Structure 1
Amino acid sequence: MTYYTTRRRILGFASVVALTGSLLAGAHSQASTNLPPHSGGVLPQDRAAPSAGSHFWEALALEPKDAWSRLRANFQWQDQAHNERVQHWIAHYQANPQNIIEITERARPWLAWITEQVEQRGLPGEIALIPFVESSFDPRARSHRGAAGLWQFMPGTADALGLRRNGAYDGRLDVVTSTRAALDYIELQADQWYDGNIKLSLAAYNAGAGTVNRARNVSLSRGDAGDYWSLQLPHETMHYLPKLKAIAAIINAPDEYRVTLPEIDASPGFASIPLTQPLNLSEAARLTGVSPDTMADLNPGLIGGNAHPNHTRALLVPVGREQALLSRLENRQSSPSNTASEGSYVVQRGDSLSLIASRQGVSVEEIRRQNGLEGNLIQSGQVLDIPQRSLAFR
């Protein structure tokens, strides 16, 4: 599938044009703005092409045993000799094996799902390890520059990519939403500026396309290849791809580098359920039968612990627990009682926010803030979270 086919399927051609225009004025965490025109020159594609000689038996691949084997099966850059920059970071990571163990353990909830998303797009499997370099696989990571989340999006880039942010929700911290946006962004820049060259797109992801394009123009003017390895870039960007390739090399052959990786299942460890009514994460945890910390860790984009359909359309739960939560939410929604559960209220005909606030002993503004409401419009049957002053939500 070509890049444009993928993008038209995901966003539509008109949306791609609008997104490209927005990104011209803003970029990623360390990105510069004012992206110059494409400098020309065709570079090799980084995507793997299916072999024309493949036959039926070669297509019968065994199911991967774990997330690591699935990830390795999608690596595309492991057949290249490691240059000095990559060797430097391999030595660095080897000297700090505990750091690798901690970060890969932190990747446990997300690695299989991210690998699946990368695989579906035909991108190099190494892309799934970008959060290792960007955020040490911490969905709540924030940089002093203002970048946030697993993929470290700056506010301007997040806005251009449609990642919503408000006082109750930050799409940069939402792993599912931000991962899809990051992969869209990498593909978009690769096609827009670099004829599909993913390595140059990753450099632009870190430093901004303007910085990379200027360095590439200089490289081409000297008669160099104009690929990532021939560019003079900011220090951090010069080491961005070497770090990524180094950690991928270690994961590709952990025994060789004397590193023990945690066991992670090959299938995603979470399920997504549709969110049709406001729900406090503590209550969701109780209904699902998991700890509040587990529910919060799976839904880091929800600030303050309240899920609302106005902010996000899905809630993540541990795999295998989704049916229990769905059935209990259905029972709660069909209950004839005005009080759906402790701390929530079902709107009745004739209710207003001021009337509900008066009855519940809270202010209208508190109800608005708790439920992500911007005005006074409510509907019969709607479930509102009521702020509890005697027992604070955790």
Structure 2
Amino acid sequence: MFSRLRKGWPLAAVLLFCFTPSAFAQRVPAKDKAAADVLVQRMAAAEQRYRDALVLAANGDPKGTTESNEALEDMEDVVDACVKQRGCPMSDLLATWKRLLKAEVDVAGEELDEDPGEDELLEADTALAADIPEAARTARLVGDDNRHAFDRMVQFNPAVQAGIRRWLTDMRPALMTSYENYQAMRHLMWPEFERQGLPEALLFGIMAKESNGRVHAVSRAGAAGPMQFMPATGRRFGLGPDDTGFDSRYDPRSAAMASAAYLNERLRQLNNDMELSLAGYNGGEGRALRVHRASGGTGFWNASVYDQFPAETRDYVPMVIAAAWIYLHPRQYGVTFPKVDAHPAQFKLTRPASIYELTICLGNQGSHNGYMRTLRNLNPRYEADAWIPAGTTLNATTRIAGLYHRHCSGGARADLARALVTADVNMALVRDTPYGNVAVGNVTPLPGAPRAAAAPAAKPKVRSYKVAQGDTLGRIAQRHGCDVKTLARANGLKAPAYSVRQGQQLQLEGCRM
């Protein structure tokens, strides 16, 4: 994005600056001086535009790329004009160039203001004041208008430090995966938290701990989606099967909206105690409220409160805070998050394909792990092995869309990917021909001989399917090529929920696959 900065200015400009310094000291006509001043002003404006673009890029705004490139082009035009303009102070222009070379470049997705001192850890408030009402809390967060509001909402203590240690050691791969997954979905999820006055770091921390940013994650208890909603809790906040059978707990935007609403409900109920609200998110809102009332409002880190939560919740709360803290302070811990091309885009399938097939033909240029997870997260309605009809528009990033048109809309790699995803292990088996069989030609009936009555056509056998953990009727129908309503009617399932349970045997009536 900023590669032109490293290529240097045109050689003529550098030579002019290095070998003819006396030219600038000569008397310059007023007309030439005015023209030179205009160029200096243009250079200053382009520099400011470039720096503004860095801020946009750091905030994940795709306009940052366009703005920075255009600003660099303006600078190049100014230098070219300065070479030709008598009296133009090339030294001033090259000083601008030198400042930009010293600046942090290629900072899309990184923090511009992240240069904390060692004492910063000690400056975070121990907790948000217990008596601040919800409206004041939200106003405070919005009024602050910075990324570090979360620091003042939680305690930074040894339990959180231990969580940071875990994220940065054996769980570092999970942290990096969570970051990459989140960046691709950020434009869908973060606005929902922002609208409800909640910090982005909190969203990242919960998502990293709950699902590592995998929208199809399902827990043993039945919690599902990137924010891991249980079915009943999800229904309270508008999540669950729609009229097609798709469970919106898997939709990133819907899940983030519900999560933000749920957290604000907990904060109102628990006197704005963030740790207790997180405990309620994981360990049950009823338990959190009972403990809060019984303790007279004592905070989560008080032993009498802490000990009333199960071990899973006692681990969950500091781990969420730790992930959020690293997200806000990566440089302090030597963390360099991966660069992610997260500019949203769409592409239309020119021929039927599955996400598996697309993953193969896209390759992994620009991504260590390839693009299957990004495609699945941005298109949660489709199973990875389900065939998606031609003409369907899929959500993606600009890089994925470009790779699709280059490699997947047709050609050798697309054909190879199709061959790989349709390969059948049974076709590799060589079966011996049984001994004693005699091959005969076509039988010709003799004139006048009675013909045997044709056997009635066998009725197609209806296959069955055993419901697995995390299945919904919509996902089963998609996987086997069924009409949801026909499948529901054949198995006595009632709209709109079409609820199925793990282990249930379904008759796949009218299914194509």
Q: Which interval holds the TM-score relative to the shorter structure?
A: 0.5 to 0.7
The TM-score with structure 1 as length reference comes to 0.54
**Alpha-carbon contact 2:201-2:327 (below 8 Å) kept:** no
The alpha-carbon deviation at position 164 of structure 1 amounts to 2.7
Q: Does 1:49 align with 2:128?
A: no
Change (3 A) 1:150 1:290: same
Report what 1:206 is aligned to.
282
SS in 1 for 2:395: strand
SS in 1 for 2:194: helix
Q: In proportion to residue count, which structure has more helix?
A: 2
Report what 1:128 is aligned to.
203
The alpha-carbon deviation at position 256 of structure 1 amounts to 2.0
Give unpaired runs (5+ residues) of structure 2. 1-129, 364-370, 405-459, 463-476, 488-509
Report what 2:192 is aligned to.
117
- After superposition, the C-alpha distances for 1:42-70 in whole angstroms (9 at most, x for unaligned) are 56655451688x9xxxx8xxxxxxxxxxx
Change (3 A) 1:307 1:162: farther
Report what 1:78 is aligned to.
151
**Alpha-carbon contact 2:224-2:230 (below 8 Å) kept:** yes
Report what 1:251 is aligned to.
327
SS in 2 for 1:147: coil
The alpha-carbon deviation at position 237 of structure 1 amounts to 1.9
Match of 2:166 among 92, 110, 113: 92
Q: Give the whole-Å Cα distance in 2 for the aligned partners of 1:50 and 1:152.
A: 25
Q: Give the whole-Å Cα distance in 2 for the aligned partners of 1:271 and 1:203.
A: 37
Change (3 A) 1:245 1:44: farther
The alpha-carbon deviation at position 199 of structure 1 amounts to 4.1
1:1-394 equivalent positions in 2, closer than 5 A: 42=131, 45=134, 46-47=137-138, 49=140, 73-79=146-152, 82-96=156-170, 97-129=172-204, 130-165=206-241, 168-191=245-268, 193-220=269-296, 225-230=297-302, 231-232=305-306, 233-264=309-340, 269-270=343-344, 282=354, 293=372, 295-303=375-383, 305=386, 316-318=395-397, 370=481, 372-374=483-485
Change (3 A) 1:92 1:109: same
- After superposition, the C-alpha distances for 1:310-367 in whole angstroms (9 at most, x for unaligned) are xxxx963435999xx9xxxxxxxxxxxxxxxxxxxxxxxxxxxxxxxxxxx999xx89
Matched AA of 1:85: A
- After superposition, the C-alpha distances for 1:285-329 in whole angstroms (9 at most, x for unaligned) are 98xx97994644421243474789xxxxx963435999xx9xxxx
Report what 1:382 is aligned to.
none
Report what 2:468 is aligned to.
none
The size of the alignment, in residue pairs, is 268
The alpha-carbon deviation at position 140 of structure 1 amounts to 1.7
Q: Give the whole-Å Cα distance in 2 for the aligned partners of 1:181 and 1:51.
A: 20
Matched AA of 2:140: A
Change (3 A) 1:240 1:88: same
Change (3 A) 1:143 1:280: farther
Matched AA of 2:379: N
**Alpha-carbon contact 1:47-1:124 (below 8 Å) kept:** no
Which segment drifts farther, 245-254 or 204-213?
245-254
Change (3 A) 1:295 1:83: closer
Matched AA of 1:136: N
Matched AA of 2:322: A
The TM-score with structure 2 as length reference comes to 0.43
Matched AA of 1:255: R
**Alpha-carbon contact 1:43-1:194 (below 8 Å) kept:** no
Change (3 A) 1:131 1:190: same
Larger C-alpha radius of gyration, 1 or 2?
2
The alpha-carbon deviation at position 198 of structure 1 amounts to 4.4
SS in 2 for 1:206: helix
The alpha-carbon deviation at position 102 of structure 1 amounts to 2.9
RMSD: 4.4
Matched AA of 1:120: R
Give unpaired runs (5+ residues) of structure 1. 1-40, 60-72, 309-313, 326-360, 377-385, 390-394
Change (3 A) 1:198 1:307: farther
Q: Give the whole-Å Cα distance in 2 for the aligned partners of 1:257 and 1:198.
A: 24
